[in-house]
Amino acid sequence: MLMQIQKAFFQASDLPAQLIVVSLDRCVVLPGTIIIINLNNSFRQHIDFIQRENNGILGIVNSQNIETIKIGTLAKILAVQLSGQDVILEVKTVGRFQIKEVLTKNPLVVRFKFVQVENEQNNIKALYNTLCERFNKFLQLTGRQFLEGGFESISDRIDSMANALSTDIGWRQEILETIDVKKRLEKILNTLDLEMRKFETQIKIFQNIGKNLKNEQDKKILELLHQDIHKQLGITDDKEDDIAEYQKRLDSIDLPEKAREEAEKELERLSRMSPSSSEAEVVRTYLGLIIDLPWETYTEDGLDIKKARKILQEDHYGLESIKETIIENLAVKVLNPNARGAILCFVGPPGVGKTSMGKSIARALGREFYRISLGGVRDEAEIRGHRRTYIGALPGNIIQGIQRAGTNNPVFMLDEIDKLGSDHRGDPSSALLEALDPEQNNSFSDHYLSVPFDLSKVMFITTANDLYSIPNPLRDRMEVIQLPGYTQEEKVKIAEKHLVPRQIMSKGLADKNIQFSEAAIKNIIASYTAEAGVRELEQKIAKICRKIAVGIIENNSRGFKIHKQDVKKYLGNGQQCEQRLKNILPGVVAGLAWTPMGGELLYIETLVFKDPNPSCELTGQLGDVMQESAMIALNFAQANIGQFNIEDENFFNENKVHIHVPGGAVPKDGPSAGITMLTALISRATGKRVRDDIAMTGEITLRGDVVAVGGVKEKVLAAYREGIKCIILPKNNKQDIDDIPSEIKKKMQFKFFHNMIDAVNFALKD
């Protein structure tokens, strides 16, 4: 993102004691201009220092003959843009400096002296006016553009004229080292007169020859003559070589008609610009993008279904629904190579393998893989690019990703699509619609690229923690695959097959005979992690491996087998406490909640006491929907008090009711706690306890129905982890139990109810 640093200003007090210097190839920059500098990733670490310690001031010199250069150009950073592995600086050149001593060479740091320029010299006014008059004629003659205004001194203005006049490195360095304004004026005026005579002679020659042109062959002869005249006049420079190189590269690649027209137009513009101008740098960057994009470059899909299935099984344990979906898409591709694949959306808690599955899919298909994270993206330009009229403009992340992937059919992962935002800069989710819609993405429009690009061959995969945070238009375009989390048995298998070997290898312990017992892994899972995925589990295994590495270095020991009792020695005391309460009191009931991190137990606590003003109080940061569920539960209990065998018919009318959900720092919302709240109220009124191994979930209505809820698999897995033996569910959620692993279904009891009263009476049964 472009960060405006500050307005360009320059005072002697701004100068640092030492100067970090940037060396540029084939270019000498004079004071009084604004330029764009592209630097590689190695310079990124110095940017913060320059801004913080050097007031944004840096030096610029030419890389040729760097050992002999004594005068360089001071510049102040206006803006910084971090683009992948590159750093793009927008700087304003503000003066000259003299190199006194080279302190380090990488980076180039020098002790320097600021060069003061005497501008107010009475004997230069006439010479300056003559230069201005002839320079304006030169601009008219050549058709070049020159920005007027913004110059604080005659020295700055004539330096800007020199910037526009010639690209010869030696001459520009000579102008830079000429401190005296009058001498500099004379040198610039002499060069200006010479350049004008060259162009006037050139124009006369072509006017005379052009009269006799009759056919294409004559025009070709004129073109060759044009090149020869340039050589004879001594005005051949690197600019023409660059133009020829760009033309050669454009001719060597297959481009769509519109892309070629735009590239040729920009190349023509570049031929009329000064190579050192900021606008020329923008055009060169754009042409580089046009040339680098894989318009017709693609990788052949690996259509061996057996091999693809083997790769998916090797890389991931479980996740069968995703694997089958990939195999199905691959089978369709075999039968119909032109078929458009589905856009997959992996939804699940962190650490379940959504991102790594994308890499495995790319490996199974033999495609390139590219990933971008959309978390926190609020600017539409991040997706669709900036228009090239803006300083520091860049293409959007999608076009940049295609460029870096090097093929037009990569597996392209849009990570954390549920965390897209929007503000005054636009709505990124709307910009994504065009990219993800199979009916539109064959002509995706990027503002920077400004010509259509075909994304129809790209396999887009998205990931999210919360499906309902994704805007509906985006969700409609994707095939959603839920990844609810892993059971303890699955985590043990994943650790044994993937996590432990990977950490042993990455920590350099491959030849040290390191082993983890199954009991040790189960202990880590139960006592040191609380997650649906395996990310935290891998972190704990990595920590143990690091401690083993220390023991090997210090004690030269070999051969470790980590047993259950050893885990505490490496990880300390277990940090995770069971959520499940034992011997719970009347009025307290275990509910089940869904979060983007997976399922969890959620206890509902009730308190009833005499109060002259009976009312209902709700605490625990409950959202509007959850508050409504509490009111439905209370009113239903009052209206049907006789069916619950409550002796005092005015129990709820004459007492104050307080409903609390622990974890007050965490906002909670949703309708699925309705049956739990009703059961807690009736438990408090009757004095009957609910068994501590029972948990429940379900929305309730005033009709007395228990309505289906979502996230059943995640909730069941959470209950299983906490030792819950029986779960009460809405009858309409019965089909969701098919998704529960068979080993869990064998160890748990599921009770399904459509009627609220039946559900409560079962929970309170002795």
Annotated binding site for ATP: 348-355
Cα-based torsion angle of the residue sequence 29, 30, 35, 38 in order, rounded to the nearest 10 degrees: 20
Task: Write out the DSSP string of 47-114.
Answer: HHHHHHHSTTEEEEEESTTTTT--EEEEEEEEEEEEETTEEEEEEEEEEEEEEEEEEEETTEEEEEEE
Q: Which residues are CB-contacts of 694 (< 8 A; sequence separation ≥ 6)?
A: 590, 724, 725, 726, 727, 728, 763
Task: Yes or no: say if 413 and 355 are a contact pair by the CB < 8 Å rule.
Answer: yes
- Contact of 608 with 655, CB cutoff 8 Å: yes
**Is the distance from CB of 367 to CB of 299 less than 8 angstroms?**
yes
Q: Is 430 a catalytic residue?
A: no
Q: Among candidates 380, 471, 458, which has minimal Cα distance to 418?
A: 471
Q: 523 with 564: CB under 8 angstroms? A: yes
Set 360, 672, 683, 713: catalytic member: 672
Burial (CB < 10 A; 0-12, 13-18, 19+), residue 667, is exposed
Chain centroid offset of residue 376 CA:
8
- b/e sequence 241-277, b meaning 16+ C-beta within 10 Å: ebbeebeeebeebebeeebbebbeebbeebeebbbbb
For the record, the structure tokens of 479 come out as 């095939």
Instruction: Tell me how far apart the alpha carbons of residues 469 and 418 are, in angstroms, rounded to a whole number.
Output: 5
Question: Looking up tokens 């070709």, which residue turns up?
Answer: 220
- Angle 327-746-580 (CA atoms, 0-180°, nearest 5)? 105
**Is 672 tagged catalytic?**
yes
Distance of CA 507 to the CA centre of its chain: 28
- Compute the distance between CA of residue 377 and CA of residue 429 in angstroms, rounded to an integer: 10
Separation of alpha carbons 595 and 571, rounded Å:
28
Between CA 717 and CA 484 the distance in angstroms is 8
CA dist., res. 524 & res. 518, Å (int): 10
Which phi and psi angles does 641 have, rounded to 5°? -60, -30
- CA dist., res. 335 & res. 274, Å (int): 55
196 — phi, psi (to 5°)? Answer: -65, -40
Kindly give, in sequence order, each residue whose CB lies less than 8 Å from that of residue 495, ignoring residues fewer than 6 positions away. Answer: 516, 521, 525, 534, 537, 538, 541
**Residue 278: how many CB atoms within 10 A of its CB?**
16
Give CA–CA dist 358/410, Å, rounded.
11
DSSP labels, 527-585 = HH---SSSHHHHHHHHHHHHHHHHHHHHH----EEE-GGGHHHHH-S-----S--SSPP
Quickly count: other Cβ atoms within 10 Å of residue 608's Cβ: 18
User: Is the backbone peptide bond immediately before 107 cis, with ω within 30 degrees of 0?
Assistant: yes
Report the relative pairing of strands 726-730 and 694-696 from DSSP bridges.
parallel
- Range list of β-strands (E), 611-737: 616-619, 655-660, 694-696, 699-700, 706-707, 726-730
Cα-to-chain-centroid distance, residue 23: 31
For residues 690 and 679, give the distance between their C-alpha atoms in angstroms, rounded to a whole number. 9
Report the catalytic residues. 672, 715
